[in-house]
Amino acid sequence: MKNKIWIISLGLAVAIYGCGKKSQEVTTESGAAANTLDGSGEVYLVDTLVSVIEWTGGTPTNYKHNGNMRLKEGRFTVNENLLTSGKFTIDINSINNLDQTGKDKSNLEQHLKEADFFEVGKFPLGNFEITQTKTDSTGQKVVGNLTLKGKTNSIEIPVTLTIDDKTISAETPEFTIDRTKWGIVYQSGIIGTLKNDLINDEVIIKLKIIANKQVQ
């Protein structure tokens, strides 16, 4: 079964978009408008019971699994109804397989927690921190640093964000990340895995995040 197991390098991960008038505007290499975040404003805490990271991964022959993962905690700050920061902790131990049951399900989940993948005994948590927001010809995005297994990479995520005086709702379409950038290379082509045993490096992720404004 192990030769059919694959992984998500999550960020996992979380993705939120916003841009504020008080943020510093910068220009990216693509020419898109982007904003750094100053952390000012009111605090919104993530509802970890309803927020979810969904994942799908598989092989070049279209053998797939899907599941989810939860956040341990997270927070945004908002100033004048605009996002000014976002920082989140991912509970790697919460990784859950949804398309299998019984022993197959538990075996897959256990393997994902072992050294071939997330190595949760040493790295039980992941982190994502938003560093910029931007808009380009393809829509709204956040840029942030995703840390897994002690490695940090910047990723860019498309997102739709809704902010009001009580809640923040952030949802993404499906997007992909490359697990090998975080040292998760089990049965990857970059280590010379034979064609019949390959697991895709690209993992599909979809996010839904809800956060509630904290009463002062």
CATH of region 2-213:
2.40.128.110
- The pLDDT of 12-20, averaged and rounded, is 36
Question: Rounded to the nearest 5 degrees, what angle is found at the Cα of 57, between the Cα atoms of 51 and 62?
Answer: 140
Q: Name the average pLDDT for the chain.
A: 86
Beta bridge partners, 87, equal 75, 129
pLDDT digits 0-9 by tens, 73-102: 999 999 998 899 999 999 999 999 999 999
- The pLDDT of 42-59, averaged and rounded, is 97
State residue 139's pLDDT score: 85
In the chain, where the domains are located: 2-213
Q: Is the pLDDT of residue 33 over 50?
A: no
State residue 181's pLDDT score: 96
pLDDT digits 0-9 by tens, 110-137: 999 999 999 999 999 999 999 998 888 8
Beta bridge partners, 50, equal none
